[in-house]
Amino acid sequence: MNVPCTTDAIVGATFSKPSDTAFADKLKLRKTSADSFSADYFKGPKAFRDEWEIAKVDAFLTDAEKQFHAITIETAEKTITVLTSRKGKTTVLVKGRKTASASPATAFTKAPHNRVKNYILPEGESVPFLVKLGVMTAEGKVHAQKYDKFRQINRFLEFVDDILSDIVDAHEDAFPGTPLRIIDFGCGKSYLTFAVYHYLVVKKGIQAEIFGLDLKKDVIEACAKLAAACGYDGLRFACGDIADYRAENAGQGAPLDLVITLHACDTATDYALAFAVEHGARAILSVPCCQHELNTALGRTAPDEALNPLLKYGIVKERFSALATDVIRAETLSAHGYKTQLLEFIDMEHTPKNILIRAVKREDSGSLTTGADALKSALGVELTLERLLRQ
């Protein structure tokens, strides 16, 4: 591949828009040491992670544009975009980065147990909202007690980055020259809301309008003040209930580009997902929380007696109910025209509520038969999301 950089200078790369010969639907490479990369790739509903030596990356890059029509390569100094048309014409765009970080040659000279992580929002680069929220100092140094939050923010941005080209391409086709429309339901203190806005608007130069909704009035007021202090003009907040907001805004407005819902409690997640489907959201990122509905509805026995041992013990029943709820939600989104995955958000050591539902609108967005019906029949239940979408 003819790009103006060497393999050892690359700190990260994203490969999307696969050709018929591509081994995956999407591939994301991130440098983990001086001579290796982590490789996250997706094929259908399955996600995989491997470790690639630099020689393998070098070999792959020689004809990567034959497998993927959209390639973004990040170095310490620039961003390189390689676009290949259906007729085989290749265009290479190079954009310098505003803040150059340490070169890969020096970044990975530490011992393996101190390997430097290449975050989307890197440590050492001062980010206004992170400074004001107490995550980092004005010089960009992350406070030790906030490092888990810093990692969580960057992990979430990786999920956004994975689907960004799908969102932007679909939006530009339908509404060229207009801002992306994003809603964050149950935004809370809005660490991730601010992170998405900063990443899209400040780092990527993409027009975006983001609306955050939460029940807590004092939290929303604080978020609005912070947005104004940071000069984030396209970031708005309001106090309200997700269910009420859905009812008041049924069928209003143009299709959404992205709906985010993280840790919206119990059926609040279902109302957010229903809103996303009803408004044709191009992508959904959801981390469910406190899935009580199914656990409450299930007794000690199920229509399918093979499941009864799972319902016998309280702690097992609770965890099984949470997992079954997320599977049914994912399958329901698939049935409504989405390519859906269940992915690990953050390490289990930090929280057991770490499953992220990622759904991207399929081009052939017709109905799809899934395995949800058999599971629901075995459990003898119907969940809120299905009732809302049926109505």
What DSSP string describes 95-124? EE-SS----HHHHT-S-GGGPPP--SS-TT
Ranges 34-48, 154-168, 274-288: which has the least confidence: 34-48
| Mean pLDDT along residues 109-130 | 70
Bigger pLDDT: 239 vs 43: 239
Angstrom distance (rounded) from CA 239 to CA 252: 19
Give pTM, 2 decimals: 0.71
| Mean pLDDT along residues 97-121 | 48
Q: Has residue 238 got a pLDDT over 90?
A: yes
Nearest alpha carbon to residue 10 among 29, 24, 23, 25 = 29
Q: Has residue 164 got a pLDDT over 90?
A: yes
Nearest alpha carbon to residue 168 among 187, 182, 184 = 182
Angstrom distance (rounded) from CA 388 to CA 391: 5
Angstrom distance (rounded) from CA 72 to CA 184: 27
273 backbone dihedrals φ, ψ, rounded to 5°: -65, -40
CB contact at 8 A, 190 and 183? no
CA dihedral 132, 133, 134, 137 (to 10 degrees): -40
Give residue 365's pLDDT: 57
CA dihedral 171, 172, 177, 180 (to 10 degrees): 20
What is the DSSP code string of 81-97? Answer: EEEE-TTS-EEEEEEE-
Token duo for residue 359: 């759904």
Bigger pLDDT: 231 vs 7: 231
In a 13 Å sphere around the CA of 153, the CA atoms on its Cβ side amount to 28
Give residue 357's pLDDT: 94
| Mean pLDDT along residues 282-310 | 87
Arithmetic mean of pLDDT over the chain: 85
The CA-atom distances, in angstroms, between 214 and each of 221, 223, 268, 386 are 10, 10, 11, 23
Give residue 78's pLDDT: 87
Give residue 163's pLDDT: 92
- Domain range list for the chain: 7-118, 129-390
Q: Residue 157: which residues within 8 A CB-CB, separation 6 or more? A: 120, 121, 195, 196, 199
| Mean pLDDT along residues 305-331 | 90
- CATH fold for domain 129-390: Rossmann fold (3.40.50)
31-78 pLDDT tens trace: 887 788 888 888 887 788 888 888 888 888 888 888 899 999 988 888
| Mean pLDDT along residues 240-249 | 90
Q: Has residue 369 got a pLDDT over 90?
A: no
Contacts 24+ apart (CB under 8 A), 22-25: 22/67, 22/68, 23/67, 24/48
Ranges 142-151, 297-306, 382-391: which has the least confidence: 297-306
